[in-house]
Structures are given as structure tokens and as C-alpha cells.
A = this chain, B = another copy of it.
Amino acid sequence: MFDERIYNFSAGPSMLPLPVLQQAQKELLNCSGSGMSVMEMSHRSSSFDSIFQDTKGRLRKLLAVPEDYEILFLQGGATTQFSMVPLNLMGTTGKADYALTGHFSTKAYEEAQKYGVCSVACSSAETQHTTIPQQDELQLSPSAAYFHYCANNTIYGTEWNYVPQTGAVPLVCDMSSNILSKPIDVAKYGLIYAGAQKNMAPAGVTVVIIRKDLAGHAMEKTPVMLNYAVQIKGDSMHNTPPCWCIYMLGLVLQWLEQLGGLSEMEKINAEKAAVLYRVLDESKLFHGTAQPEARSRMNVTFRTGDKDLDALFVKEAANAGFSNLKGHRLVGGMRASIYNAMPIEGVHALADFMRKFEKEHI
């Protein structure tokens, strides 16, 4: 039992900025003089419409989304996008390229095979997903309808440090675990999607940023809610959207603005990651699992090499108020997820705890 808030290193859902939670708490019974909670507002009301449009506008500005792209707030998480992308985009040529750099990108590839011919553009399976393939290793099909990759691999702690060049083939990117962690050039992408529960909002909303000309080519039997053209036409309100999560996203975006925007966020995230990787590089007990050039700034994966010692570390850390440091069940070891909302104080405190643990157990 904790009387105070703790440092939560969960891979997602994960920490939200404290000022965001405080604001949500303050106006939970009566938001902006509406006489009701955001959770009670009709999605067609002017009160909610202003929240919705404000959130969309802030996201467009923060990510510098060009005018020929639409921003959608959908449901179903990234896994729904694994189907929605091929259902809508595969049609033009019936083929797509997939980069396999971890668990979720492989899941996306498997799902897409229901809807067309999928080629493996690259795979990091040989290195147990501890690396990210380089540009010259990508096997590109000129006739692919799109090229799909996952920008950050939460389980393996790797992150693409470059944007693949695919010529005229539209780039589709799962940014669930690093969106808003740094500036991106949206114009390089055809479609970006991201489940919100890591860097954006509570679980329940999925952000899609789509170049408008890519919509409108859905397969015949595409479920209506999984049709981008329908969602664009309805401005994400073909039916009731996940209003509370959209509101929370709006508060998170305001927090990011006040912090100085995505360039500033990137600096902080780089510093946070550097603190933990320095501990790993200097340690005689812990070692990082990702290859240095592929290291993620969002998920720092490490281990001692001794399963019992790993388990002891996770347990003692949890008792000290550092929660969710256990690695994913597929790989074991430890994982510190340090998304935007994890303060640098939390990272320093964990670094100190790791050094102390090392002294006691080496």
C-alpha cells in the first residue's frame, strides 16, 4: 500500500503527467461550467465538440501534420490497425512489405496475410530482435501497396533511429510506443497509427494520421467501422468516440506545449535514456539486451544473466516504489519503460537503486 504516487515503469498503460491527472480530477464533476463531467457529455454537444476540435488542432500543430492528412481518433488499439491497414490499403496492388523487428510487427504481418501477399522486407529474428536492419538491408518490392514497420519495439527495447526510404511506396508506421517522444516529419509517411496508452492518453483511443488520398479504396467486405473513408467522412464520429480518452489526450497535449513542444521532449527523453544506459554500460552486474545502435529511448531492457537475481531485483525495486520493472514474459529479464510522463527524477532514482543493488549483490 502506497500513500504517495510511485514511479511506474510499466510498458503500457503507463504513467500520465501529474498535472494532467490533477486537472482531470479537478473538473471531474463539472467541466468548464457545463454542469457535467466530460464522461457525461453528448458527443454531439457543443461542449464536447470544442474539446474534440481543440485536441485535434493541438495534435496537428504539435506534430506539424500537413493539410492533406486527416487525424482520426479510433478504437480497438494497434491490433485493430493490423487488420484495418491491409483492408483499406492493400487493394491497389494486393501486395505489401513488412519489416519484422519484434513481436507486434510480426503480429501485424501475420494478420495482413489474410488480405493479400505480404513479403518480409527484413527481419531481426536472427539476432533475437536485438538489432534494427539498416536501409541497405531492406528488400523492397516496387509494386507493394505499402511498407509497414513498427518504430519502437517495446518487448526487445529497440527503436528505428532512421526513417526507411521506400520511394513511391507509402510508409505505414506503428508508432504506438514512441509517438510524441520527438518531432517527426509526417510528410514522409502515408499512414501513422498509435494506441494511446503509452505516450498519449489512457487506453481506449487509437490515433491514426492518414494521407487522405490513401482512403477510399477499402475491400468490399470491410466492416464499416474499419473503413478509413467512413471515419474521415464522420470526423471520427461515425458513432460515439471514446470521449474521455480524447479529452485526456487534449490535456496531455497542453502539458507537452507548456513543456516546450516535441524538440524539448526529445532532449529530455534522450537524457533520461542516457542515464539508464550509462548505468548499464558501467555495470558489472547488469547488461543491456539491445545492441547499442538499436537502443530504444522508451524501453530500456536489461538483465543480470541470473534469473533468480533478476526476480530479486524486480521484487526489491517494487517494494521501494519502482513498479512494473519485470521484462515481458517472452524475453524475461527487466524492462524500464520511460515514456514522456516518466520524470527524470524517477530515472535518476532508479539509476541510484540499480547501483545500490549492484554493490549489494556482486
A223 to B105, CA, bound (A): 16
Interface of A is mostly: loop
Q: Determine the chain B residues whose CB is within 8 A of the CB of A224 once the complex forms.
A: 79, 82-83, 111
Interface centre among A16, A22, A223, A324 (most CB of B within 10 A): A223
- Interface digits, A65-104 against B, CB 8 Å rule (1 contact, 0 not)? 0000000000111111011100100000000000000000
In the complex, chain B residues whose CB is within 8 Å of the CB of A242? 75, 203-204, 242, 245
Q: List B contacts of A75 (CB < 8 A).
A: 75-77, 80, 204, 242
A115 within 8 Å of B (CB atoms): yes
What 1/0 mask marks residues of chain A from 30 to 61 whose CB sits below 8 Å from any chain B CB? Answer: 10011111011111010000000000000000
A82 CA to B225 CA, complexed, in Å: 9
The reply to whether the CB of A300 lies closer than 8 angstroms to some CB of chain B is no
Check if A33 sits within 8 Å of B2, measured CB to CB: yes
**Is A268 part of the binding interface, using a Cβ–Cβ cutoff of 8 Å?**
no
Q: Verify if A330 is at the interface (C-beta below 8 Å from B).
A: no
Contact A10 B42 (CB under 8 A): yes
Q: Are A243 and B2 neighbours in the complex by a CB distance under 8 Å? A: no
Do the beta carbons of A16 and B42 come within 8 Å of each other? no
Q: Are B8 and A36 in contact (CB under 8 A)?
A: yes
Given contacts A37-B16, A321-B35, contact A243 B43 (CB under 8 A): no
Which of A209-217, A233-241, A257-265, A279-287 sits within the interface? A233-241
- The distance in angstroms between the C-alpha atoms of A79 and B74, with both chains bound, is 13
- B42–A29 contact, CB under 8 A? no
In the complex, whether A197 has a CB less than 8 A from a CB of chain B is: yes
CA distance in complex: A22, B30 (Å): 11
Cα distance, A221 to B28, chains bound together (Å): 42
A1 close to B (CB within 8 Å): yes
In the complex, the answer to whether A15 meets B28 with C-beta atoms within 8 Å is: no
A12 within 8 A of B: yes
Tell me whether B34 and A2 are in contact (CB under 8 A): yes
Query: Is A141 part of the contact surface with B, judged by Cβ < 8 Å?
Result: no
Q: Which residues of B contact A84 (CB under 8 A)?
A: 223
Judged by a CB distance under 8 angstroms, whether A244 is at the interface is: yes
Task: Return the 10 tightest CB-CB contacts between A and B, nearest first.
Answer: A6-B35, A83-B223, A2-B35, A1-B33, A204-B242, A39-B202, A75-B75, A10-B42, A79-B239, A25-B28
Seed contacts A11-B42, A13-B243; 11 additional CB < 8 Å A-B pairs: A2-B34, A5-B29, A16-B40, A21-B29, A25-B29, A45-B324, A75-B242, A77-B225, A78-B239, A204-B205, A204-B242
